[in-house]
Amino acid sequence: MQKRTLGNSGLQVSALGLGCMGMSFSYGVPKDRGEMIALLRAAVERGVTFFDTAEVYGPYTNEDLLGEALEPVRDQVVIATKFGFNITPDGKPGSHGVNSHPEHIQTVVEGSLRRLRTDVIDLYYQHRVDPAVPIEEVAGAVRDLIVAGKVRHFGLSEAGAATIRRAHAVQPVAALQNEYSLWWRKPEREIVPLLEELGIGLVPYSPLGKGFLTGAMDDKTPLAANDFRSTLPRFTAEARKANQAVVDLLASIGTKLGATPAQVALAWLLAQKPWIAPIPGTTKLHRLEENLAAVSLELSADDLAQITQAADQITIVGDRYPEHIERMTGL
């Protein structure tokens, strides 16, 4: 497995990480714990060193799952988790509201450390920007955790350019986690150039469009009520039918190269910048292996130009999130 360094941070990770949310959260019934532990350990055996979770996934259960699975190989892996939401006392998931007050951060980090069965979190992201707390205070709180040896690196997720710059001035930001893929390219306008300027790595989540870019679903694919994609405008049947053009583009390039649509989508992302490390999620071993093979897929300059130019001509239908969720982002 190739390695990449996230910006100027010195934090080295596998070129492809593993997003673990779907093992416990958002995509229907949580998966079997034993099977997911086996999958996580299989990922390590195949060279994955970068694992992504958050306290709100479950909530709590995803961190606990990673803690058990990765404890025997803790010195071989980089674990990223996130803070920034209130979670109700009974632990029920839902719209808990953001909370990045420094005293909250100092409290919740202890729970994440305990669930992850570790003494230090490698990369600690603010999950969503809290408009009630100056970002300088958030960066200062994480800086204090770094000084205390509980955190190694500071990250942000879905933050806007001004917020990133202000946070970075207080505590260097190692990585920004944003949605980025061939059907969500907005970060290219302002965020990617800023990250290059400041020496910050980019960790794209949903690099396969929450499964859509794999070609495994179409407008007729049913989505269960407990699958959060059923609430997303981009996943209505009408939107999926219109957006099939992106999958068709990936499939046509893949046919020429002997690759799957997912592999082309990931290889395109990896080719954008050497400090980009996508974190596709999966709960299936064969999908994990398919994704990891993308690291070895060589896209020529002509391939990249063809993909980008063709994608420029496709109008993506449907917002990526409902309005109340999109308002929580800084993009």
The residues that are catalytic are 57
Residues ≥6 apart with Cβ < 8 Å to 179 = 158, 187, 204, 205, 206, 320
What b/e sequence results for 108-118 when a residue is b if at least 16 CB atoms lie within 10 Å of its CB, and e otherwise? Answer: bbeebbebbbb
28 in Cβ contact with 227 (< 8 Å): yes
Report the C-alpha gap between 284 and 36 in whole angstroms: 9
Which among 94, 53, 57 is positioned nearest to 70, based on CA atoms?
53
Residues ≥6 apart with Cβ < 8 Å to 149 = 119, 120
Backbone angles phi, psi at 63, to 5 degrees: -60, -45
Report the C-alpha gap between 206 and 279 in whole angstroms: 7
